[in-house]
Structure 1
């Protein structure tokens, strides 16, 4: 679904989210549904098999700092499909390079009727940054609207400054990619035919130029008689001694 699939009023409703939710501090330990089939939360939410089953989760994106690998890890690999991303939670970490694998995993899961939980350790900075980029491209939003959309469902998120900078940069990237993909391309057979026609025209033009070079600058139907006598008659003084 993209921005063009929704009316302006529908898009506004999507960004604002449910207005009847009273956020409580303990809710940060739970996960929230950001868009149909995509949930965001902390690692603790992924540790309860009962909770995951009650939410009908089928896929889990586990995003962690490598230093946390001993504790933040897939707990039920025989129950769910996992994607594990080792990402440093600092402002120098490149998220844009890692995002395509997460997006592909989420897209495939949702397209096949699955439900995906995206989590990091606290669900505050790292995993929310990935989810903001996902909903931004999914709905065709600006980075501000995408951030507000996620915050209106999980109030405690706060991506660090470096992540926010990359979220802003990603808006330009996905919009450019969408513009390129929507630009009509000439079919290959048409392009080949056009090249062949151009080659034929160029060949005809070169042939005409060759004919011009071969053609005499001045053409005569008959040579002048005076010119013929000079060439054919013997020298009148040759017989005199």
Structure 2
């Protein structure tokens, strides 16, 4: 029903007195507070808690992040409109920008970019040929992640992008690692000539899909919530935009990371206590779901009706009235 139309309800003789809608209520908005210069710089630290232990070790996290804190400063004061057309550094090893920034070969060489990660709309994949051309000219890698509409599609893209970025950074490190001593598992790095891997994440504008990918990466590697991750990206690239759908997806991804951490902690506790894993619970029988103290159906119906009337005892507003002008007997929606 159109909420702007006051018409009769489905019950005869009853009239609505205020606009209403039959659709489900909208979810509450996720508010991202602005992080101004008066608060100070935003600092995040690498963490092993947010990453799936089956994919990365603590040592690999240290290789990727160099165990360095990342700091974001408020860029809003000196921000100019033209800066949305170029890429900005979000982390020491991660840049965010539009696809057009990949055509600036001088910029890519100056910043030492070793891989370009293009974030494509699953229904619109044109305009990304320039990424591959630039990568071929400079002899660097070009990878692509397709984002499918919907929460599951975005979460899968977050995981895929995080895996691609980490694999590339570790591969760059291992190429330059040489065996040290008789133990081939022990490696050493020539610190003077070491070249760290650096990734440019981009989409058409550099403000939406790629910004969400970078925020999700920060959540996984630095174990921060979605609000802090969006604030961090917004400070470094002021034009980054997160719409309501993206915020809800990032919140869902945050819950996923927390669930992974809870499972890891539980498994660690079981191993420490040397306890076997709990046996699988058998399927409940219908008798297990029955409450033998449940009152008779007639009594339940009467109690529900009484409780429904009690809800409106002290209310001056009633959503429906009868056509004669008086309030409906129970004063509630029918």
CA contact (8 A) 1:91 1:163 kept: no
Please give the root-mean-square deviation of Cα atoms over the aligned residues, in Å: 2.7
Partner SS for 2:154: coil
- Aligned counterpart, 2:14: none
- Aligned counterpart, 1:220: none
Q: How does 1:72-221 map to 2 (within 5 A)?
A: 72-73=128-129, 74-78=132-136, 79-87=139-147, 94-111=153-170, 112=173, 113-183=196-266, 184=268
Alpha-carbon deviation of 1:109?
2.5
- Aligned counterpart, 2:91: 35
CA contact (8 A) 1:43 1:122 kept: yes
Alpha-carbon deviation of 1:151?
0.3
Q: Could you tell me how far apart the structure 2 residues matched to 1:70 and 1:101 are?
A: 21
Length-normalised TM-score, structure 2: 0.49
Partner SS for 1:96: helix
Q: Give CA-to-partner distance per residue, 1:130-175, whole Å, 9 cap, x none.
A: 1111101211111111110000000101123211111011111112
Runs of 5+ consecutive residues of structure 1 not aligned to the other structure: 6-12, 193-241
Q: Could you tell me how far apart the structure 1 residues matched to 2:151 and 2:217 are?
A: 20
- In structure 2, relative to structure 1, the CA distance for the partners of 1:179 and 1:186 (3 Å cut) is closer
Runs of 5+ consecutive residues of structure 2 not aligned to the other structure: 1-45, 50-57, 59-68, 174-195, 277-334
Structure possessing the higher radius of gyration over alpha carbons? 1
Q: Give CA-to-partner distance per residue, 1:82-115, whole Å, 9 cap, x none.
A: 2212225x66772101221110111123333310
Alpha-carbon deviation of 1:33?
1.1
Say how many residue pairs are matched: 181
- Aligned counterpart, 2:7: none
- In structure 2, relative to structure 1, the CA distance for the partners of 1:77 and 1:14 (3 Å cut) is closer
Q: Could you tell me how far apart the structure 1 residues matched to 2:84 and 2:198 are?
A: 20
- Aligned counterpart, 1:70: 126
Q: Could you tell me how far apart the structure 1 residues matched to 2:257 and 2:168 are?
A: 21
CA contact (8 A) 1:43 1:121 kept: yes
- In structure 2, relative to structure 1, the CA distance for the partners of 1:40 and 1:180 (3 Å cut) is same
Partner SS for 1:118: strand
Report which of the two has the higher share of helix: 1
Partner SS for 2:201: strand
Length-normalised TM-score, structure 1: 0.66
Q: Could you tell me how far apart the structure 2 residues matched to 1:130 and 1:165 are?
A: 14
Q: Could you tell me how far apart the structure 2 residues matched to 1:14 and 1:55 are?
A: 17
Q: Which runs of 4+ in 1 moved over 3 A?
A: 90-93
